[in-house]
A and B are shown apart, each in its own frame.
Chain A
Amino acid sequence: MGPIANLRLHVFDADQGQVSFRGTNWLIPMLLALFTDIHANRQAFTACLEAAHARGAERLICLGDIVGYGADPEWAVDMVMDLVAKGAIAVRGNHDNAIGAPSDSMNDDAQAAVDWTRGQLSAEQKRFLAGLPILREEDNRLYVHSEASDPERWRYVRDTSDAARSMLATELQITFCGHIHRPGLYSMSSAAKMTSFVPTAGIAVQLLAGRRWLAVLGAVGQPRDGDPAASFAMFDTVSREITYLRVPYDVETAAARIRASGLPRWLADRLLIGR
């Protein structure tokens, strides 16, 4: 697995006691790499993991939809299982969920991909997906695939009112989610006023302590904001800075694998245009 296997995992050191840093003395300072909507895209996820490693990621968070759409579900599930065994956090997405609990709310292409994927995965892999938690809390952060108010209804965060509903459903300061495949960053002031923002790749934004935040990540494996490059984010728990990143990857190969496996052609074509 090359450099990915060498990811440094943060271990809490009991001898050191609490780590103290500027008003956050109950937090363990950490550099997080967050991924969502991998969708069995091996080329994209590999490129993102390498980029995260190069930026010194200490802990990996996977916000769900490991499978569906893409041609390498076994590889993707094995990779996430391995990362979780080494301390990563993963939550369940609607495509992961649909492997074990058939859904009637998916479109034809998504349903075809789920049915195909089900035939590719081993029993152990299916058990792993079914056993993923629907949300996870860590310090002042919430990790969830869709949104926090009713996570198993798989609603999208499209605008400030969707974002507000999710933010009001949790006490935690920062929520990280995915699902819509388009990056967005929402905040709510102490007076419950909302702001929305389309993040600029590579520019760190401090998630100010005086307000609550909802960070919607772009997709690793199937971006839909017009940019075919894979999307993930880094978050520094000390400076509270989030950086959305774009990583170019071998889209041609990922698309060719989808075509070769007999999945709907549109699932290959859309990767090339990021739609």
Chain B
Amino acid sequence: MRPGAVIDGFTVGERVHRGGMATLWSVTHPGIDVPLLMKVPLTSEGEDPAAIVSFEMEQMILPRLSGPHVPACFGSGDFERQAYVAMERIPGQTLYKRLDDLPLPYEAARAIAGKIASALASLHRQNVIHHDIKPSSIMFRERGEAAVLIDFGLSHHNHLPDLLQEEFRLPYGTAPYMAPERLLGIRDDPRSDLFSLGVLLYFFTTGVRPFGETESLRGMRRRLWRDPYPPRRLRADYPPWLQEIVLRCLEIDPAARYPTAAQLAFDLAHPEKVKLTSRSQRLTRDPLGTVWRRRFNLGAVAPQPKSNVAAQLAASPIVAVALDPSHGSEVLNDAIRVTAEQVLSTSPSARLACVNVLKLNLLSIDRTLDEQGQNKHVDRLVALQHWARPFRLDESRLTVHVLEAIDPASAILEFATANLVDHIIIGARQSSMRRSLLGSVSAKVASEAPCTVTVVRPSRLELQATAGASDGAAITPPGLF
């Protein structure tokens, strides 16, 4: 590799970085107009033997990824000639540059973690677990501010051979951020990435790494039984919602963490709606009895069958129900509840968001009406909660939202996009008169939503029968009574 060399049409420019496993070169290609980087593994004698394997993983995984949260891949070469991966160059610095500013204000850290969680949700949906989430593998796009994950050399793709699985006796990764199950050789649980993000969020808000900087296997193994000090112990003003989120990410048992990155992103986007448990107030670590029980029962963990990342995500969807709790919608809302029950019963870790749009009138923006509007807002929240009560959902799985908007369909679509909603359930308006005048909200949502939409309509036959009866028209055969 030298400046000026041409490899498969890529002209090599300056070397921009030399890491432990690879060098990065600025390159250009006549057919590609975005800035490009070429990553070249270090393969000479004496280099880290993991360099080749992690290059192979990146070479397999990166070309399969898409979306704003990863650098686009433009080609690769293998060891027969010149090993390289050519990818989009993301301008700016990694989050590592922020380490001097720690601890960050809570709000700034929340916003950063929320973007990373959204990026992880996108990655996990593509069947990939990153396995090296840390400040230096996170960048941000200049426009849209989406988090970009880089360095897939330690990643796991659920549909590709995992070359790292049996290659090394010790788990490969960055010690302070590594999830405890990784130390047991588990590489196919996406919740490992949520643990690493929890470490990052803890570090960014307290300035202290929850498990220190230990690099020894023995030191790392402590996290299999020893929980970190709650952040509130380090900073008295630590917000309870933030401690709730951080400690849930850092749960030793993956099943006690958030089920998906999307559900974590949801909580980070709505801190005021985070269900606070005893975690949020804790000032001390787990008692020694608990720690010992964990430590001496490590072998008792049942061997897990090979996980299926897609199935795990599918079991934990975010379901948004769009409701109008006002008078006259009871039949429709009952029908929506039946449909929502069916969806929830097949998805044991689903999360339900009940959404109502408070329609704003363009002309009503003055003080008195604003107060009225505020009252309406509270009324609607109460009504949504009332509607959802029969589900008996744990509060951490249920939120209610009143959106204020001029166009209800756009508001629902925006909510679904911003919150990574997997499934929208919405009722079809019964009155054809209103629908023809105002346009159908459900039709617009169904055609433009970024996810599955179920449009619920109570049987029209039933409604006709009811209408018929009230009109006194004997359309129901008397024999039925």
Interface: A262 (CB within 8 A): no
Question: Which of B49, B60, B79 is close to A209, meaning CB atoms less than 8 Å apart?
Answer: B79
Q: Could you mark each residue 350-389 of chain B with 1 if its beta carbon is under 8 Å from any beta carbon of chain A, else 0?
A: 0000000000000000000000000000000000000000
Q: Is A187 an interface residue (CB 8 A)?
A: yes
Starting from the known contacts A22-B8, A197-B162, A211-B163, 8 additional A-B residue pairs (CB-CB under 8 Å) come to A190-B52, A193-B166, A195-B162, A195-B165, A203-B159, A206-B59, A208-B56, A210-B52
Q: Is B78 an interface residue (CB 8 A)?
A: yes
CB within 8 Å of B: which of A160-201? 160, 185, 187, 189-191, 193-198, 200
* Number of A positions contacting B (CB below 8 A): 22
Specify which chain A residues have a CB less than 8 angstroms from the CB of B53 in the assembled complex.
189
- Expressed in whole angstroms, the minimum distance between the Cβ of B7 and any Cβ of chain A is 11
* B residues in contact with A187, CB < 8 Å: 161, 163
Alpha-carbon distance A175/B434, docked complex (angstroms): 68
The contact sample of 14 A-B pairs, CB cut-off 8 A, is A23-B77, A23-B78, A160-B166, A187-B163, A189-B52, A189-B167, A193-B166, A194-B166, A195-B165, A195-B167, A197-B160, A205-B60, A205-B160, A211-B163
A227 to B166, CA, bound (A): 27
Known: A185-B161, A195-B162, A197-B162. A208 touches B167 (CB 8 A): no
Q: Are A189 and B60 in contact (CB under 8 A)?
A: no
Say yes or no: A206 contacts B60, CB within 8 Å: yes
Beta-carbon nearest neighbor of B49 in chain A: A191
**Whole-angstrom distance between the Cβ of B167 and the nearest chain A Cβ:** 5
Residues of B within 8 A of A203 (CB): 159-160
* Chain B at the A interface: SS class: loop
> What are the 4 tightest A-B residue pairs by CB atom distance, in nearest-first order?
A197-B161, A210-B79, A209-B78, A200-B159
Main secondary structure of the interface of A (DSSP, over half): loop
Task: Give the distance to chain A from B80, nearest Cβ to Cβ, in Å.
Answer: 5
Minimal beta-carbon separation of B173 from chain A (angstroms) = 18
CA A160 to CA B53, docked complex, whole Å: 18
Name the one of A23, A190, A208 contacting B59, with C-beta atoms under 8 angstroms. Answer: A208
Q: Does B81 lie at the interface of the complex (its beta carbon under 8 Å from any beta carbon of A)?
A: yes
B167 neighbours in A (Cβ, 8 Å): 189, 193, 195
Q: What chain A residues lie within 8 Å of B81 (beta carbons)?
A: 23
Q: Find B163's partner among A160, A195, A200, A209 (CB 8 Å cutoff).
A: A195
Interface size classification for chain B:
20 to 34
Whole-angstrom CA separation of A185 from B165 in the bound complex? 14
B56 touches A210 (CB 8 A): yes
The answer to whether A195 touches B80 (Cβ under 8 A) is no
**A266 smallest CB distance to B (angstroms):** 28
Shortest Cβ distance from B81 into A: residue: A23
Q: Is the CB of B161 within 8 A of A209?
A: no
In the assembled complex, the CB of A199 is this many whole angstroms from the nearest CB of chain B, namely 8
Q: Give a binary string over B82-108; 1 marks a CB under 8 Å from any A CB, 0 the rest.
A: 010000000000000000000000000
Give the complex CA separation of A205 and B83 in angstroms.
18
- Which of B158, B161, B165 has a CB less than 8 Å from the CB of A205? B161
Q: Which residues of chain B have C-beta atoms less than 8 A from A200's C-beta? A: 158-159
Q: How far is the CA of A185 from the CA of B166 in the complex (A)?
A: 14
Q: Which residues of A contact B165 (CB under 8 A)?
A: 195
Specify which chain B residues have a CB less than 8 angstroms from the CB of A160 in the assembled complex: 166
Chain A residue numbers with a CB within 8 Å of B8 are 22
Of chain B, the residue at the smallest CB distance from A196 is B166
Distance to closest chain B CB from A225 (angstroms): 13
Contacts of B52 on A, CB cut-off 8 Å? 189-190, 210
A191 vs B163: C-alpha distance when bound (angstroms): 12
**B160 in contact with A208 (CB, 8 Å):** no
Once bound together, how far apart are the Cα atoms of A193 and B56, in whole Å? 14
Give the docked Cα–Cα distance between A77 and B78 (Å). Answer: 41
CA separation between A209 and B59, bound complex, in Å? Answer: 11
Question: Which B139-171 residues have C-beta < 8 A from chain A?
Answer: 158-163, 165-167
Docked complex: A196-235 residues within 8 A CB-CB of B: 196-198, 200, 203, 205-206, 208-211
How far, in angstroms, from A23 to B78 measured CA to CA in the complex?
9
Interfacial chain B residues near A23, Cβ < 8 Å: 77-78, 80-81
The chain A residue sitting closest to B83, CB to CB, is A210
Knowing A200-B159, A203-B160, A205-B161 are in contact, say whether A211-B56 is a contact too (CB < 8 A): yes
Residue among B8, B78, B158 having the largest count of chain A Cβ atoms under 10 Å: B78
| Residues 52-81 (chain B) with a chain A CB within 8 angstroms | 52-53, 56, 59-60, 77-81
Whether B60 contacts A208 by the Cβ 8 Å rule is yes
Q: For chain B residues 383-423, which have a beta carbon within 8 Å of chain A?
A: none
Alpha-carbon distance A205/B160, docked complex (angstroms): 6
Bound CA–CA A205/B81 (angstroms): 20
**Alpha-carbon distance A198/B78, docked complex (angstroms):** 24
CB distance from A116 to the nearest CB of B (A): 39
Report the bound CA distance from A196 to B160 in whole Å: 10
Closest-CB distance, B21 to chain A (whole angstroms): 15
Is B78 a contact of A210 with CB atoms below 8 Å?
yes
When A206-B60, A208-B59, A210-B56 are in contact, do A189 and B163 touch as well, CB less than 8 Å? yes
Q: Which of B438-458 contact A (CB under 8 A)?
A: none
Q: How far is the CB of B185 from chain A (nearest CB, A)?
A: 14
A240 vs B129: C-alpha distance in the bound complex, in angstroms?
24
Distance between Cα atoms of A196 and B56 in the complex (Å): 15
A126 CA to B25 CA, complexed, in Å = 61
Q: Among the listed B159, B161, B306, which residue makes an inter-chain contact with A195, where contact means beta carbons less than 8 Å apart?
A: B161
A137-148 vs B, CB cutoff 8 Å, 1 = contact: the mask equals 000000000000
A269 to chain B minimum Cβ distance, whole angstroms, is 26
